[in-house]
């Protein structure tokens, strides 16, 4: 019975995190968690191609960021 409760809690936490990540990527809500704590960057509107990869500046901290092959900005 205890293992079932733990699994349910973990599944609910994962769903809440996925929904939060989706909301952050669309609206920027949750910046303190996803950007400041986890280091997720969001590009500004001006994205350019440098001959090898997509580049931009983070709209929150201004850091120069690149997009990797999975679509993540770092």
Q: pLDDT at residue 1 above 80?
A: no
Beta strand pairing call for 48-49 and 64-66: unpaired
Beta-carbon contacts of 56 under 8 Å, excluding residues fewer than 6 positions away, are: 43, 44, 46, 47, 48, 64, 65, 67, 73
Query: What burial letters (b/e) apply to 41-73, b meaning 16+ CB within 10 Å?
Result: bbbeeeeeeeeeeebbbbeeeeeebebeeeeeb
What residues does each domain of the chain span? 1-40, 42-74
Q: Residue 72 has what pLDDT?
A: 87
Tell me the pLDDT band of 51, cut-offs 50, 70 and 90. confident
Tell me the pLDDT band of 71, cut-offs 50, 70 and 90. confident
- Give strand pairing partners of 58: 43
pTM more than 0.95: no
């Amino acid at each position: 019975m205890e293992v079932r409760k733990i699994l349910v809690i973990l599944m609910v936490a994962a769903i809440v995190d996925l929904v939060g990540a989706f909301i952050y990527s669309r609206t920027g809500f949750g910046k303190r968690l996803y950007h400041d704590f986890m280091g997720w960057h969001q590009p500004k509107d001006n994205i350019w191609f440098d001959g090898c990869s997509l580049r931009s500046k983070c709209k929150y901290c201004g850091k120069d960021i690149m997009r990797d092959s999975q679509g993540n900005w770092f």
